[in-house]
Amino acid sequence: MVDISGLNQLFKIVRDGNRSKVIASPEAKTAKVNHNILALVPMDEYVDIINQDGVKYLDYTNALPLLAEEWSLAYQADRKIPPHPGSQCASCEFKSTPGDGYKNGFKECWEQAYQFTDADFEQGTVLDIYNYRKKDKLIADGRVRLSSVNEDDINIVDGGEELSLSERQWMQVRGIPADEDRGGYWIADHLIRKEMSSWKYPYHFIDFETSTVALPFHAGMQPYEPVAFQFSHHVMHVDGRVEHVGEFLLTDPVVFPNFKFVQALKDQLDQDDGTVFMWSPHENTILNKIIKQLESTPNPPANGQELVQFIRSLVKDGERAMYDLCKLSGKAYYQVDTKGSSSIKKVLPAVLKTSAFLRQKYSQPIYGSQGGIPSKNFTNFTWWVNAGQGVPLELYDLLKDYGSELLGETVLAGEDPDELVIANGGAAATAYARLQFEELGVEQRRRICEALLRYCELDTLAMVMIVEAWKEFTSTV
């Protein structure tokens, strides 16, 4: 636990071209810091184990010095080491995407091991099966193509009106049954209509951005204790009107944001008792953590107990507990392009591709326009952009493709537009860390904050679009 706030401010990162350096403040030598922040941990026992037993991973079983020499010689001779395919290949760090200019190490390995062609990769492998625990067994048996998987491998369980995990996996393998295919997607229309009947207008869609770092920014915090620095808030009314009504962003390096964050959220949601939506339990986890912080801090805000009661009303078992749309997606929706995943980054492109309603509505520049959909960060924006053959560009890619336009002005000399166009949660957390650690100019800080606001707004708009599409899909059956 750190005992002073702003410890990170004593060690600022300064970028010098493509390199970075750390500048220590003179105060770093005089600051009274709890030296238990860092501790020496003896590793002799584990070094001895490695020296004695060697490395045992995949087919590599040998003493570490011998393996290091073998790999070093292979590197010097530019000689490929034979691949050892397995389930670990699903998270290969050497994958690339077409057009990014990088070689694809994963494809090279599988081409060598299984004589795969581009067509084989396109038809899918057992690595694609969502949350499947027997991939290594199939690979060991030489059955690596998706087409080689049979019903006995999946052990299909009937989920009733819900889509079971095994049924979702089997759809990946053999496709959506012809009598249940709605044009590339499957939907449990009865289940979704039943769930929607329990929702109360106006609908509130919220998304949080948080940061967890090893060395906390504020006194009294433990390593990797979350900081909630941002949220976005969209509302859908009973007549279908959509508004981006609120947001919060606090990036001041010396201000602990969590209590101000929850106060701002309370101000937003206390206007009515409409249903509050999240995507996955992340928001629930963060709010529970803030309860603990409010109850343990020696200096709680004056309305600390009121904030605790508000949070408890939103978290699991609360009278206004947030509704998890990701959980509903897993039980009630499947589209072939999602590859079984219920990640919002997969579901959003899927519904945009198949929803006529979304195409008609968002192919017009109505977002952030006068008389259109109110937005706090976009003006006259078109979200449904044809990428060819009636398929839309992915929305999160638009934050990159429209880089300088989204920034509101041209990129300054020496700036990398990719650093200012934040298009995923990891980039958002990294951007927040930059605002805490780096020596940035006022203009650059402003532009990074604007990028954060745009990204978080898209996250809640994504939930709105998915619900709009589900309403369309279930009203036409």
pLDDT in tens, 312-336: 999 999 999 999 999 999 999 999 9
DSSP 379-413: SSB----B-STTPBPPHHHHHHHTHHHHHTSPPPT
Confidence tier at 420 by pLDDT (50, 70, 90): very low
**Model confidence, pTM:** 0.88
Does pLDDT of 422 surpass 70?
no
DSSP 41-81: ---HHHHHHHHHH-EEETTEEE-HHHHHHHHHHHHHTT-PP
> What pLDDT does residue 237 have?
98
Greater confidence (111 vs 428) lies with 111
Spell out the domain ranges in the chain: 87-149
Does pLDDT of 2 surpass 70?
no
pLDDT tens by residue, 129-152: 999 999 999 999 999 999 999 999
CA 153 to chain centre: 30
CB distance 287 to 309 below 8 Å: no
d(CA 60, CA 45): 22
